[in-house]
């Protein structure tokens, strides 16, 4: 009987040692993930607070008129915006901005997506939420579709990010609405219309129409 109890006790001790090892390995794995996957910093040169506006969409559209085609709708031209130009156009449209989160946000084009980076802090760890959006335009309505999201370098569900974005976007005065993973913005018209838009190979390609008055 004593031998049986001794064997049972030894088995229990052995199992407890394995459980402690498993807990230790799990804790170590969490630390490794936190150290190597989560930390990331926003590119400072791509933050809106460091963008100087030297051009606007109107300026770019006027420059493109020299190669425009005459159509039934007016003069049609294609513009290709690189990341610095896109940041200037967006900041120019926003006007005076005092929101620190927005000023610290970085925007760039990555392949066929618009990449938006928002810095955050998780305790002592500085990191960011990185989001990739696809873009399209129909009847002066810009639609941004949230395609994927990451916390630092760690992929996270889009729904976690979308709910936070919706709180900001759906406030009065933003001129935008968000439903599920889709943000819709009514584009301003200043003597031109954006017929279509897409992001392709790191550039935003816009089809601009300037109506002709007779």
Task: Divide the 214 residues of the chain into consecutive groups of 10 and give the mean pLDDT of each group.
Answer: 51 71 76 63 88 86 78 82 91 82 90 92 82 88 92 88 82 73 81 84 88 70
Do 78 and 64 meet the contact criterion of CB atoms below 8 Å apart? yes
94 shares its domain with 26 = no
Using alpha carbons, list the distances in angstroms from residue 179 to 6, 105, 107. 64, 22, 22
Number of domains in the chain: 2
Q: What is the predicted pLDDT for the residue at 130? A: 93
3-class secondary-structure state, position 167: helix
192 shares its domain with 98 = yes
Q: Are strands 69-71 and 74-81 parallel, antiparallel or unpaired?
A: antiparallel
100 shares its domain with 142 = yes
185 shares its domain with 92 = yes
61 shares its domain with 156 = yes
By C-alpha distance, which of 129, 125, 103, 127 is closest to 115?
129
49 DSSP 8-state letter: G
23 shares its domain with 109 = no
147 shares its domain with 67 = yes
Angle (CA) 15 21 25, round 5°: 145
Q: What is the predicted pLDDT for the residue at 4? A: 44
53 shares its domain with 130 = yes
5 shares its domain with 54 = no
By C-alpha distance, which of 100, 116, 99 is closest to 108?
116
Q: What residue numbers bound the domain in which 25 lies?
A: 1-36
Where do runs of H (alpha helix) occur along the chain? 2-36, 57-64, 83-94, 100-103, 158-169
Give the pTM. Answer: 0.76
Q: What is the predicted pLDDT for the residue at 148? A: 94
Q: What is the predicted pLDDT for the residue at 90? A: 86
Gap between the Cα atoms of 207 and 198, Å rounded: 9
20 shares its domain with 61 = no
Gap between the Cα atoms of 128 and 177, Å rounded: 23
Q: What is the predicted pLDDT for the residue at 212? A: 75
Neighbouring CB atoms inside 10 A of 3's CB total 7
205 exposure class (CB count in 10 Å sphere: 0-12, 13-18, 19+): middle
Q: What is the predicted pLDDT for the residue at 131? A: 94
By C-alpha distance, which of 213, 152, 153, 158 is closest to 183?
158
Q: Exposure string (b/e) for 131-155, b if CB count within 10 Å is 16 or more?
A: bbbebebeeeebebebeebbbbeee
127 shares its domain with 75 = yes
């Amino acid at each position: 009987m004593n031998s049986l109890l001794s064997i049972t006790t030894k088995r229990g001790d052995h199992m407890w040692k394995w459980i402690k090892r498993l807990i230790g390995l799990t804790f170590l794995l969490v630390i490794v993930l936190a150290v190597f996957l989560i930390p990331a910093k926003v590119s400072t040169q791509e933050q809106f607070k460091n963008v100087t506006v030297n051009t606007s969409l109107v300026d770019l559209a006027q420059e493109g008129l020299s190669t425009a085609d005459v159509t039934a709708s007016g003069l049609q031209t294609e513009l290709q915006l690189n990341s610095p130009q896109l940041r200037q156009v967006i900041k120019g449209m926003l006007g005076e901005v005092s929101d620190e989160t927005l000023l610290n946000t970085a925007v760039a084009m990555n392949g066929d997506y618009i990449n938006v980076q928002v810095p955050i802090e998780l305790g002592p760890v500085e990191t960011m939420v990185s989001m990739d959006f696809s873009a399209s335009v129909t009847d002066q309505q810009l639609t941004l579709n949230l395609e994927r999201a990451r916390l630092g370098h760690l992929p996270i569900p889009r729904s976690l990010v979308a709910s936070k974005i919706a709180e900001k976007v759906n406030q009065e005065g933003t001129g935008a609405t968000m439903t599920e993973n889709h943000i819709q913005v009514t584009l301003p018209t200043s003597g031109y219309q954006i017929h279509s838009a897409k992001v392709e190979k790191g550039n935003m390609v816009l089809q601009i129409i300037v109506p002709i008055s007779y």
